[in-house]
Structure 1
């Protein structure tokens, strides 16, 4: 998980298979997770969320952000955290972040607030908002599943709300007050708004170019690149005849040898300021190799060519493939002239790069082709475009279906998994989205990862590992907290110190795991340990399990801790250290608020 050498869903299936092969669980137990109520609930929430998006239900929140955010930086940060948190309470975290990102970027431009000051709050708000309801995030559902499996009543739909609202409010205040000091004032590099007129700074671009020297000798090639401020990363190859023919067909001669025997153009991998490269290409001082192979406007007049940045979405079918394998140009009609990953430009030939979730592609092509990427589930455009209008005529129906499913679950009329499943079916039958859209709405990687990891929790129980870890934590809690005599003189109404110290330890362990695993995996691993810890200390399991649920969603200290973090990592041009600077103190704050509040609501 931590190295990302293998995908989380593949690792989860391997874990389930390994547990069955070693006899730690039966075959039935190894694959029971895929049919668990938690998996059904998460799938249903994905589909119902898509129904709300398809019918324009989220548009009200984006308009509200513009009104509440105003033009003040701190006010806009707070509004971003609270509104995405509200949306995340009823739908999956990453979906809420994706819906709100274009509105946040637009509001930031209106208020002249850099995107770097807003996108980390957007990601963190989506995580905190998921803590306000039982269906807001997978760890809440998995904690409930563990309670049910042990014979305890699960948390109700709104049992998470008091602590969830408290940590959401604390996070909003922290980010609004300290965010402008801790967050970088950076911008994404370009947008769909026009050639060379992007939505942010002039980032470095690494791409392949052809340089045709006007006189013999490689020295002149070096002079040209130096004058343009370009760094030559590699000399790739001479230009072949096919490229000469393509260039000649466009009235260009980048590879022609003159009568004096001048050498053919050099194909170079270069890096330099994006705007300088594009100006040089427009002046034909250099030729973008990608555009010689794949003209951005074949047969057109070139007047409607635009730049755009698009990030690979969490469920993108392009992840793990190269541009050549996806036949990107013929599939989308756009030319990829650069790729950024984790805030850094990729310095290798683009056709060989295996794309990953979160990669940002710099695209060039006709406006209408760029516009078509708007509703494409494989991409998230970093600049608002004129997408097909939502079907507002069914917005009320979608809201009624979602509200009805949540209401039936909250009232205890239906189990939350059954309510979610029926709600998903109703969205399709009611015409709020097509069955194909429902299939695409489900994040199958998340579903497989949860289903494959659930047997690990079973193995921890059946092998006694959870009991051993719980006893160790109980002993640590006893050492950390005061003795029985000190606990006896604590003021009335305050929680005993030993259980509180043990909760702090299990919360810290869960937080450490969720930075490198998925939040679902962290909850699956720690839930059985937390239950055994409660039994070892002879206390109620509910405060301990609430701490686990909150801690599993406190994935703030690294960009790899959650998909929402990865989504904004490239889009905000962040560095790894930006997450550490903001996320670590926020993590400590959330843990402190949780430890102070949870025992008051859920006594030991």
Structure 2
């Protein structure tokens, strides 16, 4: 083992620890890896920054733009609505149709985008048939990962693995549909698993139907009237100290012969005002006695919901949200959006108190209430995703045929190898912009920049492992460990290593690290490297054990009311089954 090997292994170990602990953002960790490799001389300056000009990275962000165009033009919505109309009202049929739909969509667009598009529709269906959303959302997230294995552009690991194969030389890279046979097998496996086994393991935690019942907020909402002698008379809400002293949140102010008023900080409280407040009953009673308030009957949800201009809906942070980690107070949510947050589904719990101080995270679901026009405005905000089916009229339907033509043209160019995939996808992305399917600002918003910087930062690690012989060293270690059992045992050992790695770090990063090892292991055994690489990219899609394994899992975490180990309970058996399915079918489709 050389000094370079030791340095690379140390850098890799530190990076893995940072990925696992999440003390730093994953894209920042990748940039630190890039800088460290450059400063230690393990890669040249050109190699250190080659990731930003890599055809694989260009392909990845081009796919994000094309996915954004399919979203803006309504193509994805039309497909989703058509498939879901076929589902009817039977739970099992709905479950199967959802999994097939998201699998197909994930084959040709970003799988996180596919889940984001279907999420509002699936929740609406769950409410309509009175089924817990938790019975539908996890299967949708898992099969979106498996559906991404169907084509070259389905997921970044496919693109990255193919790019690394090209860099080695002497290895035939994968074509566009080379992934389809194994991808279809693992997708069907996932669907059958949920039909016969997985659906019985899914939690029934979040009830369908009424949102107030789902978040259990009825007992925390009350109405109080401001008496003539109340000390609040004439004070602004900011000066009332209802929140700081009594942990009570004012959601609405009602006055005689006036429309309900939004509780802005400078709103003055008057005698006779009826305040809709949220808080613990003991706190409300204590505030009423101290401040001269009269407790009224329990607030009626049906009265509020019958008002034509007001709605109660769920929202969650969008995949492009920049406010992760900020509180409602820091974002000035009420003043900015004119809406009130009633509850937050955070880390598996429905929270109804001290909401202003809870840091928002990906996977949180927020129950909000307010005027319909404000909620409609929120639909176009890049920070949030409204969890109800959007009106199809909000999409640019007149651009849908053009978007389909561009997509089909790109697929033909790539599948027939008329153009390299990076060139074809970039042309497709630019054509989407030039034809106004989406504008340039929307194109930039569609790109998952964290993933782009993560991939660009980790690609030099793959180069360093390849140039220094570290990948070959680790590959020989694996061959020495299980090689006596034959090449298939080595393949499955690498599959298992990738599957475990992708649970604690990005599947793109795991692919960059493991593919060079897989190729060198295949060369050491003098067998087909394509078989080994295919095992890696399939294993990279098996992030089922934890919600943090993939953003698709995180996206459904709050809306489904899941807890951390719900994923482990359901996912571990799917991981085991896919392991044996790959063991059987991989050497048949990709002979060693």
TM-score normalized with structure 2 length: 0.82
Q: Deviations over 1:289-319 (max 9, x none)?
A: xxxxxxxx9xxx9873332221001110222
**Match 1:358 to one of 360, 363, 370:** 363
* Map of 2:21 onto structure 1: 3
Partner secondary structure for residue 439 of structure 1? helix
Partner secondary structure for residue 503 of structure 1? helix
Q: Deviations over 1:245-284 (max 9, x none)?
A: 8452484498xxxxxxxxxxxx997599xxxxxxxxxx97
CA distance in 2, matches of 1:94, 1:313: 10
* Map of 1:218 onto structure 2: none
Whether the 8 Å contact between 1:542 and 1:602 is mirrored in structure 2 is: yes
Partner secondary structure for residue 504 of structure 2? coil
Does structure 1 residue 166 correspond to structure 2 residue 185?
Answer: yes
CA distance in 1, matches of 2:545, 2:535: 18
* Map of 2:117 onto structure 1: 99
Cα 1:537/1:60, change in 2 over 3 Å = same
* Map of 1:293 onto structure 2: none
Q: Deviations over 1:523-566 (max 9, x none)?
A: 01101110111111111100000000000111111111000000
CA distance in 1, matches of 2:265, 2:547: 44
* Map of 2:73 onto structure 1: 55
CA distance in 1, matches of 2:372, 2:271: 21
Whether the 8 Å contact between 2:151 and 2:176 is mirrored in structure 1 is: yes
* Map of 2:444 onto structure 1: 439
Partner secondary structure for residue 397 of structure 1? helix
**Match 1:312 to one of 317, 331, 337:** 317
Does structure 1 residue 86 correspond to structure 2 residue 104?
Answer: yes
* Map of 2:173 onto structure 1: 154
Matches within 5 A, 1:511-522: 511-522=499-510
Root-mean-square deviation (CA, aligned residues, Å) is: 3.2
Q: Kindly state the Cα deviation for residue 239 of structure 1 after the two structures are TM-superposed.
A: 9.6
Q: Kindly state the Cα deviation for residue 107 of structure 1 after the two structures are TM-superposed.
A: 3.0
Q: Which has the larger share of helix?
A: 2
Number of matched pairs: 528
* Map of 1:535 onto structure 2: 523
Q: Kindly state the Cα deviation for residue 581 of structure 1 after the two structures are TM-superposed.
A: 1.4
User: More displaced, 316-325 or 8-17?
Assistant: 316-325
CA distance in 1, matches of 2:200, 2:544: 17
* Map of 2:256 onto structure 1: none
Gaps of 5+ in 2: 1-18, 228-241, 249-262, 283-292, 298-303
* Map of 2:95 onto structure 1: 77
Q: Deviations over 1:367-404 (max 9, x none)?
A: 11112222322211222344643222221110000110
Whether the 8 Å contact between 1:207 and 1:337 is mirrored in structure 2 is: no
TM-score normalized with structure 1 length: 0.81
Does structure 1 residue 507 correspond to structure 2 residue 512?
Answer: no
* Map of 1:380 onto structure 2: 385
CA distance in 2, matches of 1:210, 1:19: 62
* Map of 1:588 onto structure 2: 576
Q: Kindly state the Cα deviation for residue 362 of structure 1 after the two structures are TM-superposed.
A: 2.2
* Map of 1:237 onto structure 2: 245
* Map of 2:144 onto structure 1: 126
Cα 1:210/1:530, change in 2 over 3 Å = farther
Whether the 8 Å contact between 1:115 and 1:188 is mirrored in structure 2 is: yes
Does structure 1 residue 321 correspond to structure 2 residue 318?
Answer: no
**Match 1:395 to one of 400, 405, 412:** 400
CA distance in 2, matches of 1:321, 1:163: 42
